Every structure is written in structure tokens, then in C-alpha cells.
Amino acid sequence: MSPTAVRPTALPPDDPAPPPAGGQAAATPLRERVAHQLQRRGAPVVLVLVAVIASISSSTFPTWSNISSILVGNNFVWLLALGMTFVIITGGIDLSVGSMYALGGVLGAYGAQHGGSLVALVLPIAVGAAWGTVQGLLVARARMAPFIVTLAGLLGARGLMQAISNEGATTYIVPKNSFFASLGSGTWVPLLILAVFFAAGTVLLARTRFGATLTAMGGNENAAVLMGLPVARAKVLVYLLSGTVAATAGALGAARLQSGVTTIGVGYELTAIASVVIGGTLLTGGSGTVGGTLSGVLLLGVLHNLIDSHFSQYGSAFTDLVNGAFLAVVVLLQTLLSRTQQLS
Amino acid sequence: MTTLSWAGGMDRSRARRLLQDYGVYAALLLLFVVAVALNGSFIEMSNLRAQLLQVTPVLVVALGMSLVIGTEGIDLSVGAVIALAAAVLPLYLGYGFGASLVVALVVGAVSGALGGAMVAFVRVQPIVATLSLMIGLRGLANIINGSSGKPVTDSTVADLGTGNLAGIPVMTWIAVVCTVLTALVVRRTTFGRQLVAIGDNRQAARLAGLPVRRVLMTVYIVSGVLAALAGVMLVGYSAESDPSTVGLNYELNAITAVVVGGTPLTGGRVRVLGTVAGALLMQLISAVLQQHNIHQSYQQIIEAALICFAVYAAQERGTR
């Protein structure tokens, strides 16, 4: 087994399962099924509940301006969670996405200022793909822990971004009215881009051989190798995908903000991991959906929006506190639910 | 390692083992010599003292982290616990330094206990459990302190941060005591054997009748207390407490020190002295890069590459 920071196989719980009492044996599968469905589909259910309650109790929440700000006000950060979903399903983790987002933004703005819209798109994508490939090779070929490789990636990518922007002294400006700037402006174009990305992600994970390989790897890597699946290649591709998507998201974010912001992206990898976990993807790998992640980012977005509008007088610190507590509760619930499934 | 004579009965795997076991110390010595050769004033007492002061809080946090990593866990909340302890400390200085120190350490213990309970009792993944604490606790620290830096003018706190004992900073003495205690715990106590056994195979440890939950709880509590201690040190060192910046990225620095020091992330082994060497090595690298006016950005890139190299070199082979 390769040394990974996240153990790829779930252990049974510390307590041996209590034997089901007589007469309840038939009810256990049902309970398991319910728990499984809750864990997989808890996020969309909670999302709908929260949205309905918010719409009834607040007059500002259900307005189109508010909804659109939730949907596209995140500057494409949701895409980080999309890429992260693929990595986590294989039982890995990618801590470098926040730095890649910032690097992609600076590269995109640099390209837009000095080369035009095509360069602005190609440059970040190329660098993101190269960076992701190196990380993937270190994880797959050198068998290093994803946690460490991408932690070094987090440092290195931020360093590279600082170097390109002369220690943050230079801010590259995206020319107004360029094709590149139009990709990030308004509501409909960004929304369409997000939709395309998530739709493509869903198809890739649920409907292709590559997606099936990833899920099999996360479930049991040794078994996947023995079945003859191209595990090493899939690993490299997953980090390549995550790096590329993160850099692209950064570039699109720069198009929206009209400049390459150097202070952006710190801690975004954690938000991405949180969204993926809330969406029902297991950190141990082997199970998860893009739709779940979409529910996760939407739920966090809606909650952020609600907390901001209701508790803005308490400041961002309070938002952090509520977010942390919320994440803890969700994770506790999910762990309990997945344990229920293991009690067979 | 190429200077070794292969004829002397030294085969490759043995060389690998040596590199794994002593590589970090060798690198530390080598880099120190290089640093002094490049810049003679590096060895001056004032410089060494400044370096020691800077590395001490990281080292204290890394000691707790090494225990957590030994159990195959990880504690991302230490940076936030530092901020929380730094935010709490000034509140109780009116009752004397001792009282406020105790309160800060208790806050650290409670934070650690929260993470430990999630990991030990609910079996949440350590990375997620401590991630939620990392987000939440920093928010709490900001609420307590009002999100802006406050100067702390207390003579005892200042003495702790800048005072000397026999020519060596007080904080460094504290770190040395913590190191010795941690090393003794890992090598000489039942608890130390138990935590390593849990990291090696939690299931087997449980079946062998070890108190898995109690040990895990204790490890995260110790990590929280040490992080709080580092928070107190940082307040003393900078004479202010700013919860939005203090302790930022400390979790990453501590994990780096532990891993570079040769403790595997997969648990089952704790190298306390290696962790110390790892922390010193990272400090030395950044000091050398800084003194030669290499930009912060290139420093980060070089550090990232070195981390990868160090971990690759220290990796156990044969786990295929």
C-alpha cells in the first residue's frame, strides 16, 4: 500500500457492533439504507430546507440580485471544490489549489495585459497542468504522501506567484472590454461557465472509464492494481486535472476582478475540502459525486449569505466561528451515518 | 554519502538506512557550516540568539504535532489555538501572569480535547476534525480580541519573550525542557509505546486491549496545550496579541518540521530529536536565504523543493 496521508481503507469502529436484537434483524438493512442515502444526499436536502426557510423568513434572500450574488459572487472558487472532488475520491488530497488559484489569476491578468485574451487563457492552463503533473508524478511514481507533496506545492506555487508579481508590488490589470474580461463579467456568462464545468465533471466521474477507475482506486487501491486498472496514470491525471481546474478558476476570477490579486487564495483549499466533505464524499476515498460537491458549495454559499446578512454587525470573525461549528456538526453527522452503514 | 567506501562492507540498503536515520542531522550540520562559511558573522551570539528565539515557538508546536502524527493523525488547529491563547492571555493579566498562563493553557487543552474527542470517539478523520476547529477557533480568537492587534505591556510576559537565563533565551530553555519530556515520554513510558502502537495499527492496538481512546484524547490535548504555550511565547516575543495574524501557517511549519525530521505521516514512529533537527533545519534554510537577500518568493520555492527532497530521502522503502 502506498503511504498516503489519508488512510485509504476505512476501519471498523472502535466498538464491536452490538448484535441486533431478535426481530430487528430485518430492520437493520433498512436503517443502513436510510443512513447511506442521508449521507449521500444529506447536503441537497439540507440545502433545500435552508433555502426554503430563508425565503420565507427573509424578504431580501429570495430576490434575484441576492441569488445571483450567491451563484457568481464566489469568483469561480467553486471550481476548486470540483477538482478537489476527483482527488479526494482517489483517497488523496490537494492542498495546493488555493495557491494555484492565486497563481492562475496573476498569470491570467499578466497574459491579458501583455498578450491578449488567448494568452490570458492558455498561460494559466499550461502552468496549472504542468504543476499538477509534477505533483501527480511525485505522488504516483515516487510514492510520496499527497499531503506533503501538495503542501510543498502550496508553498512553491505561492512563491512563484509572488515572483511573477515582484513580491506583490506589481498588479497586472485585465484590459476592460477584452474577450477575456467578458468571461468573468456579468451574471450569465460566469454562470454558464460554472454549469459547463460541473456538467463535464459529472459526466467524467459518473459516465467514463476514467471516473470508474478513480472510484475503484479510492475504494481499494491494491485491488484496483490487481484488476489491471491504470492506477498510476489515473493518479497523475487526477492531480493534473485539479491543478488545471484551479489555475483556470483563478484566471476566470481575475477576469471577474479585472486584475491579478496577489493576496487572494489563502485558505481556499480548506474551503474546497469542506465543500467536498459536506457534499458526502468520503475523505477515505472510494465514494462521492460531483452533484454532492455542488450541493456542498451551494449550501456553504447560502449559509455565508445568510450569516452575512443577519450577523454582519458581528463581523467576519463570527462568520468563521459559525462556519467552523457548522462544518464540525456536518462531519460528525456524516461519520455517524457512515458508521451505521458499517454495522453490518 | 558517496564518500563512503563501498568496499568497506557498506551496501546500498545500509546506506539508505543511515541516510534515513541521520540524514536530517547531517544536513543540519552541513548547512550550518555552509552558512558560517558564506557569512562569518552568522556564528555570532546575537544572530544565533535571534534564530533560536524565532524557531522556539515552531519547535514547541512541532513536538505536540509529532505525537499526533505518531498516532497517524494530524492537527491543523494548532495555528488557531496559538491565536486563541494569545487572545485569552491579556484578559487575565490583571490576576497576575501565573493565572493568565494557566487560563491560556487550559484553553489550549480544551481545544485539543474537542479535536481529540472527534477523532477518538466519533472516529472523524483527523484532518477534517481539526480543520473545522482551525476555522472556528480563529474566528473565536478574533471575536475575543476584536480583530486588531493590541499591545501587551506586562513585565513578566516581556521577560518570558526576551529574557535570558545563563545567556540563553528563557523561551529556548522552556523548549529544551519540553523536548526532553517529549523524548522521555516516547521512549520510556507505557503511554509512548501505546501511541506508537496505535499509529502502527489502531485496530490491532484496540484488540490488544490498549486504551485507544484515552491515548488519542491525551495526544490531542498535549498538542493543544503546547500550541497554547507557543501562543503565550509569541505574545511575549512580539509584545502584542493580534489574533488575525499570530500563529498563521504554524500548522504547516510544524508538520514540515516533523516530516523533514523523519517521522512518517503514516504513524507508528515518532522521532522527537529528528523533529527538533527538522525545525532547526527549516529555520536555518530560511535564515541563510534571507541573509543573502534572496527574495521571499524564491525562498518559498526553494523551501518547497527541499521539503519534497527531504521527505523523499527519508521515505521508508519496501512499502510496495
Going from the first residue of chain A to its last (344 residues), give the mean pLDDT of each consecutive group of 10, the final group possibly shorter. 43 44 56 75 83 85 87 91 95 94 96 91 96 96 89 92 88 89 90 95 95 92 93 96 97 93 86 87 83 91 82 71 78 73 50
- Taking only the tens place, the pLDDT of each residue in B259-275 is 888 888 888 889 999 99
Q: Which residues pair with B151 in a beta bridge?
A: B240
pLDDT above 60: residue B93 = yes
Average of pLDDT values for B160-186? 87
Measured in whole angstroms, how far is the alpha carbon of residue B191 from the centre of its chain? 20
Cβ pair A235, A23 in contact under 8 A: no
Cross-chain CB nearest to B265 (options A5, A321, A324): A5
**Would you state the torsion angle of the CA atoms of residues A242, A238, A81, A120, taken in this order, to the nearest 10 degrees?**
20
- pLDDT-derived band at B148, boundaries 50, 70, 90: low
Gap from A285 CA to chain B (nearest CA, Å): 12
What is the reported pLDDT for B245? Answer: 80
End-to-end CA distance of chain A: give it in Å, rounded: 26
Here the cell at position B206 is: 484496540
Backbone dihedral region for residue A286 (phi beyond 0: left; psi -120 to 50: alpha; all else: beta): left
Cβ pair A280, A39 in contact under 8 A: yes
Q: What is the b/e burial string over A64-101, where b = at least 16 CB atoms within 10 angstroms of the residue's CB?
A: eebbeebbbebbbbbbbbbbbbbbbbbbbbbbbbbbbb
- Compare all CA atoms of chain B with the CA of A314 and give the residue at the minimum distance: B143
Q: How far apart are CA B43 and CA B39, in angstroms?
A: 8
pLDDT above 90: residue B95 = no
CB contact residues (below 8 A), chain B span 84-123, against chain A? 118, 122-123
User: Would you tell me the crossing angle of helices A97-114 and A231-257 to the nearest 10 degrees?
Assistant: 50
> Quick one: which of A209, A201, A189 has its CA closest to A291?
A201
Cross-chain Cβ contact B138/A151 below 8 Å: no
Q: How far apart are CA B66 and CA B275, in angstroms?
A: 7
Gap from B132 CA to chain A (nearest CA, Å): 5
Choose between B18 and A271: higher pLDDT: A271
Cross-chain CB nearest to A321 (options B140, B255, B316): B140
Q: Which residues contact A48 (CB under 8 A, 6 or more apart)?
A: none
Phi/psi at A22 (5° precision): -60, 135
CB contact residues (below 8 A), chain A span 264-323, against chain B? 270, 273-274, 277, 283-284, 314-323
* Element (DSSP H or E) covering residue B97: helix B97-120
Q: How far apart are CA A196 and CA A190, in angstroms?
A: 10
What is the reported pLDDT for A130? Answer: 97
Cross-chain Cβ contact A3/B129 below 8 Å: no
* Mean pLDDT of all residues belonging to chain B: 86
* Element (DSSP H or E) covering residue B150: strand B150-151
pLDDT above 50: residue B88 = yes
Cβ pair A106, A260 in contact under 8 A: yes
